[in-house]
Amino acid sequence: MVQTKKQAPGVILKKGQKFVVTIKRLGINGEGIGYYKKKIVFIPKALPGEVVLAQIVQARPKYLEARLLKIKKKSPDRVEPVDKYDVGGIELEHLAYPEQLKFKQDVIAQALAKFRPKGYQTYPILETLGMEEPYHYRNKAQFQVRQTKTGLIAGLYKANSHQLVDLPTFETQRPLTLKIIRQVLSLLEKWHISIYDEQKHTGLVRTLVVRESFATGKAQLVLVTTSKKFPQKNGFLTDLKQLLPEVISVMQNINPKKTSLIWGEETFLLAGQETITETLGPLSFELSARAFFQMNPPQTKVLYDEVKKALDLTANETLVDAYCGVGTIGAYVGQNAKEVRGMDVISEAVADAQKNAQKYGLPRTRYEVGQAEDILPKWIAEGFSFDALVVDPPRTGLDKKLIQTILHYAPAKFVYVSCNPSTLARDLVDLTKVYDVEYIRSVDMFPQTARVECVVKLVKRR
């Protein structure tokens, strides 16, 4: 039970209470936002302009969380979602796609207004580049596996819970990834292979990870297990090869810890080859099990074309690709550069980057394992200088030490690829001490979700 100074005397808001509210806008997670009794309300699945009946699920001191019970006045932008599951990854499926693209511009503007980096009011936020067909784009599935009374299930967790939802269909996924997962479940049952129990911390198979190549139609399967021992392995693999010839790489990752993290430290080849091949434009990349690669290859090309345009590299310029992964950005945008260097903390990804660079005969490349904020100063001390920098950090944004390193060396050309507008806006507070933001271009890498990806062109202030 919560009572705040802002509420009218005697007004008490509590869990279970129902109320009618008008939705004003969408929040950064795609939820509808309204105001009730002078308190902000977050209501998933509600859209701007709608009048809805909602019920409080949490009454916090500064805000309310509520669930949508009934739509009294419907938005003209509401559409019938294809998927009916209550899981993440489809939180905007009820919103017409053109409006999703506008929303992703607005999320960037909201983040900038919150953190207020220098000159943020005048940053051009260019229209979102979307997909012609905004479904069947996810080339990778990471589904938890659990044993139930009715059989094995595999899928994602219900929103804001630890309840696993079985996903025999999921329209943003590539159909082959789902086909493989369902077939593997059948084989696990056939061969009586034990399944991980979170409560007891027993059982073998925890997670199924499937990645499909858009370019070849072939796939890689990774079984994340609690130990290297794999009873009935030979029978399982023989059936798998016969039933799923599309799977050309079968790997086993060992994660024995009691943790919510998917990956363990050790990965072994079980059958086939260690990598699968994906292409971006004229380039192809070898991907190992843990190597990061964007989950939407067609839109990745759109994204990287924007990076290439923003950097506008010449043949005499050197490029540093921080958070390089398998070297995709550096290879794609730096084909004509004087030199490309990159770094990443995942050793397998760096090994893949080195192989890819050799395969293409790229001009002078160097990739190292480690943090960018540690490796860059070392390179500089060795006499290296760079003209351009591209960063594509995780959702946590740039490390503070790396920001200071960037500001210290201040390359003339700098592009920030962000998958989180909030940490981008936060980082821009410091970066705009030296750089001006020429523009921000949003690219929709994840249709039907509230995820926002963008390319920021920064220019060193004269």
Instruction: Report CA-CA distances (Å) from 274 to 118, 178, 180, 246.
Output: 47, 21, 18, 14
Angle between helices 400-409 and 372-381 (to 10 degrees): 30
Q: Which of 15, 162, 159 is nearest to 90 (CA)?
A: 159
Q: Using alpha carbons only, give the angle 121, 126, 132 rounded to the nearest 5 degrees.
A: 150
Rounded Cα distance, 177 and 182, in Å? 9
Cβ neighbours of residue 400 under 8 Å, at least 6 residues apart? none
Q: Which amino acid is at 455?
A: V
Both tokens of 305, joined, read: 């074309």
Both tokens of 156, joined, read: 């994602």
419 labelled catalytic: yes
Instruction: Report CA-CA distances (Å) from 153 to 89, 147, 184, 442.
Output: 18, 7, 11, 36
Both tokens of 207, joined, read: 């997670």
**Contact 339/309 with Cβ under 8 angstroms?**
no
Helix (H) or strand (E) holding 234: helix 233-243
Q: Which of 146, 129, 59 is nearest to 440 (CA)?
A: 129
Q: Which of 248, 419, 455, 458 is catalytic?
A: 419
The single-letter DSSP state of residue 348 is H
What is the side-by-side strand order in the sheet with 247-254? 164-166, 151-157, 140-148, 205-212, 219-225, 247-254, 266-272
Cβ neighbours of residue 236 under 8 Å, at least 6 residues apart? 187, 188, 191, 193, 230
**Contact 419/403 with Cβ under 8 angstroms?**
no
Helix (H) or strand (E) holding 426: helix 421-431
Helix (H) or strand (E) holding 278: strand 276-280
The dihedrals phi and psi of 89, each to the nearest 5 degrees, come to 95, -5
Q: Which of 378, 386, 398, 390 is nearest to 414 (CA)?
A: 390
Where in the sequence numbering do the catalytic residues fall? Answer: 419
